[in-house]
């Protein structure tokens, strides 16, 4: 807490604005946007690397949050005064940091696969800036960000190693799907148990529920896309790819916006909202676009 107390004594309006920008780089929306851009327009397999690292580390962090139930710093100590601009987005429990996890999974995957020292250094700097921003803004402790960084780094390296070494190819899609499906189902069970028997606050469970829905949507989307669609992200001109991204983002934002009012009244509907978003983004949208592209090629 001493570090947070010191940082808030040197906090300035300009510093808050800068660190809010750094925090944005670690938001789940940014990760999903980059993942979709890569998946839809650049390299589908690379997109899957980002997705697996992001969702597996995200699931781990959310489960740890609900197990340890560590309150936010300003709840633990009245001497901590968080930045008001960051407090609104600091939902759920504090330990570990989801922003740090998101940043490490995305920029860590980029650094792992793009073997240029200058680029890798830039990705490392971004990760550290996101982690530091959470301390500067007073919404996380050093333990929150350091544990999230270490866990996500290990998972990200493990995912990429498993793909590069061919380890994942030793198993069928059905076997991998079976393992992936266990994860969101386990998360839902944990959420229900916490809510019914341990009196966990439903607001603090929301992030866990959303992550479970996203994980299920991604898992089923990955299975159906890889088995029945085999979408080729490299196809299409630059203009076509721009249209593909813009249309896809608009569709996902509409889903997110239209289903949000229901989520505000039904906590478990967050599961449905994020499931639909990921399932559409990973499977249905590529399938529709693939059919349109093939139809144009025949004509």
In a domain, 296, yes or no: no
Give residue 113's pLDDT. 93
Q: How many domains does the chain have?
A: 2
Q: Does 208 map to a domain? A: yes
Flag residues of the chain having pLDDT under 50.
none
**Domain ranges, residue 239:** 171-290
Q: What is the pLDDT of residues 216-227, one digit of tens each?
A: 999 999 999 998
| CA–CA–CA angle 145, 103, 127 (5° rounding) | 70
Q: 186 and 68 in one domain?
A: no
Q: Are residues 180 and 154 in the same domain?
A: no
Tokens of 41: 């327009």
Same domain flag for 55 and 164: yes
The answer on 259 and 282 residing in a single domain is yes
Domain identity same for 187 and 105: no
Q: For residue 192, what pLDDT is reported?
A: 74
Written as one string, the DSSP assignment of 230-275 is ---TT-S-HHHHHHHHHHHHHHHHHHHHHHHHHHHH-TTHHHHHHH
The answer to whether position 299 is within a domain reads no
Give this prediction's pTM.
0.88
pLDDT tens across 164-191, in order?
Answer: 998 888 888 899 999 888 888 887 777 7
In terms of domains, do 89 and 148 share one?
Answer: yes
97 with 227, same domain: the answer is no
Tokens 């780089």 correspond to 25
Domain end (from 109, 141, 168): 168
Q: Which of 125, 151, 168 is the last residue of a domain?
A: 168
Structural domain includes residue 231: yes
Q: Are residues 37 and 78 in the same domain?
A: yes
Query: Is residue 297 situated within a structural domain?
Result: no
Q: Are 140 and 64 in contact (CB under 8 A)?
A: no
Same domain, 93 and 216: no
Is 230 in the same domain as 267? Answer: yes
Shared domain check, 140 and 42: yes
């Amino acid at each position: 807490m001493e570090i947070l107390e010191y940082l808030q004594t040197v906090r300035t309006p300009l510093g808050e604005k800068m660190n809010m920008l750094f925090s944005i780089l670690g938001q789940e929306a940014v990760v999903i946007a980059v993942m979709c851009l890569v998946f839809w327009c650049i390299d589908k397999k690379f997109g899957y690397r980002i997705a697996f690292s992001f969702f597996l580390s995200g699931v781990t962090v959310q489960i740890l949050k609900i197990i340890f139930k560590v309150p936010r710093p300003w709840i633990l100590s009245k001497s901590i005064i968080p930045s008001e601009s960051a407090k609104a987005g600091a939902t759920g429990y504090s330990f570990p940091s989801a922003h740090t996890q998101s940043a490490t999974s995305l920029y860590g995957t980029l650094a792992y696969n793009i073997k240029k020292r200058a680029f890798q250094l830039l990705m490392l700097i971004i990760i550290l800036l996101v982690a530091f921003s959470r301390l500067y803004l007073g919404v996380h402790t050093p333990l929150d960000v350091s544990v999230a960084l270490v866990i996500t780094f290990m998972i990200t390296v493990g995912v990429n190693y498993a793909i590069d070494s061919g380890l994942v190819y030793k198993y069928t899609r059905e076997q991998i799907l079976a393992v992936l499906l266990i994860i969101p189902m386990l998360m839902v069970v944990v959420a229900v148990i916490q809510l019914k028997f341990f009196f966990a606050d439903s607001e603090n469970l929301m992030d866990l529920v959303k992550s479970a829905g996203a994980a299920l949507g991604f898992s089923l989307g990955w299975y159906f896309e890889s088995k029945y669609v085999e979408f080729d992200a490299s196809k299409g001109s630059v203009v076509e790819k721009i249209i593909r991204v813009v249309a896809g983002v608009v569709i996902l934002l509409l889903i997110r916006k239209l289903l949000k009012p229901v989520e505000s009244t039904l906590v478990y509907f967050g599961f449905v909202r994020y499931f639909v978003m990921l399932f559409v983004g990973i499977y249905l949208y590529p399938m529709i676009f693939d059919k349109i592209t093939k139809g144009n090629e025949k004509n």
